[in-house]
């Protein structure tokens, strides 16, 4: 059986979440739940070809398209930033999220693919900020107000 070769251009993160995959999945496809952990508002149409748009802070807006949606197991979407001259325009990269049941919860594995070297550290910082917020929200806690959602907040 072939093993997956690591992509040196990918940001890879894993986090254990104290909730079942069905619950975690809902925080990836429901716009109200999504906005509890990332950004101010989300427009999500979670089906292949459907829209993925997240307003982080009123200025920085992530835009993409859902590429794969396997309920309770996998979500893949293209990812880029809206706006003229963006170093990562919409569709320029891909985010793959795999959910696996583990220890009465979920192991979430994220791979953000297709990032130029100059963009990797910044996007890694973003996922390091947002994934614990997702874990908190999905496990029933309140992650609190997102300091990056305020104008000039952090992205």
User: Which domains, and CATH codes, for the chain?
Assistant: 11-146 (3.30.530.20)
The per-residue pLDDT for range 62-93, each reduced to its tens digit, is 999 999 999 999 999 999 999 988 999 999 99
Residues 6+ apart with CB under 8 A from 152: 57
- pLDDT, tens digit, for every residue of 33-56? 999 999 999 999 999 999 999 999
Q: What is the pLDDT of residue 84?
A: 87
DSSP string, 93-146: EEEEEEEEEETTEEEEEEEEES--HHHHHHHHHHHHHHHHHHHHHHTT------
Q: How many CB atoms lie within 10 A of CB 116?
A: 11
The pLDDT, as a whole number, for residue 1 is 46
**pTM of the prediction?**
0.91
pLDDT at 152 over 90: no
How do residues 123-146 score in pLDDT, each as one tens digit?
999 999 999 999 999 999 999 999
- Residue labelled with tokens 């170093």: 87
């Amino acid at each position: 059986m072939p093993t997956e070769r690591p992509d040196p251009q990918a940001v890879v993160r894993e986090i254990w979440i104290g909730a079942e995959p069905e619950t975690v999945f809902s925080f990836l496809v429901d716009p109200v739940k999504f906005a509890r952990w990332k950004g101010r508002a989300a427009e999500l149409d979670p089906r292949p070809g459907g829209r993925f748009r997240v307003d982080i802070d009123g200025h920085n807006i992530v835009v993409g398209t859902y590429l794969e949606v396997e309920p309770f197991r996998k979500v893949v979407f293209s990812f880029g930033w809206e706006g003229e001259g963006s170093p990562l325009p919409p569709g320029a990269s891909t985010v793959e999220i795999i959910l696996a049941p583990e220890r009465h919860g979920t192991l979430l594995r994220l791979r953000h693919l297709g990032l130029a070297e100059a963009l990797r550290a910044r996007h890694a910082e973003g996922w390091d900020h947002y994934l614990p917020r997702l874990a908190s929200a999905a496990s029933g806690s309140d992650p609190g107000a997102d300091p990056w959602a305020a104008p000039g907040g952090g992205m």
